[in-house]
Chains A and B, each alone.
Chain A
Amino acid sequence: GENVEQHPSTLSVQEGDSAVIKCTYSDSASNYFPWYKQELGKRPQLIIDIRSNVGEKKDQRIAVTLNKTAKHFSLHITETQPEDSAVYFCAAWGSNYQLIWGAGTKLIIKP
């Protein structure tokens, strides 16, 4: 079946450094790729999304890039802050009319 692989499962970075989380999808028909952030004990919330007709999208310190040929997309967080500590999930909308989710990346910001 369709799947989304997400790496790494855990990422620890120094406060102020950048963090990059990568996802690879299998369904070549996927055309929508959201990223959700889930803080400890909280609900997931959308932080940024990208559609297949766009290669990159930025929102302040957060950016997402998409490489349709390689079927992968990445989340970039610059100038990381303590409040960026959370679990981040990528997802891909596929031809089965479902969002296929990655397994999540636990981002730890070290002070």
Chain B
Amino acid sequence: VQLVQSGAEVKKPGAAVKVSCKASGYTFTNYHVHWVRQAPGQGLEWMGIINCNGGNVGYGQNFQGRVTMTRDTSTSTVYMELSSLRSEDTAIYYCARENLGCVDVWGQGTTVTVSS
């Protein structure tokens, strides 16, 4: 069972980034996936969640209007797209699977750097 995230990204302010999280070793549609990020020297910040079965999403208040989470059941992959990037979005982005309140497996993290 693992979640494998896409590689590091460098983006300019105002651009968008799309990070993927590919699941393997379990039934993809039986779980939700959370996205959490951590800016340098800061704590974790919850970004949102997607139901990998129906595709329903819920986003953190700080990200509403700027984040979009989708999933592709044919490839067991979840995507997190963050738009209108600014320097404060420089962070490590993590995905984690959850089912009925149990979060167990985490992705390895994806570093996103926003710099002009």
Q: Do A and B come from one complex?
A: no
Chain A residues near B (Cβ < 8 Å):
none
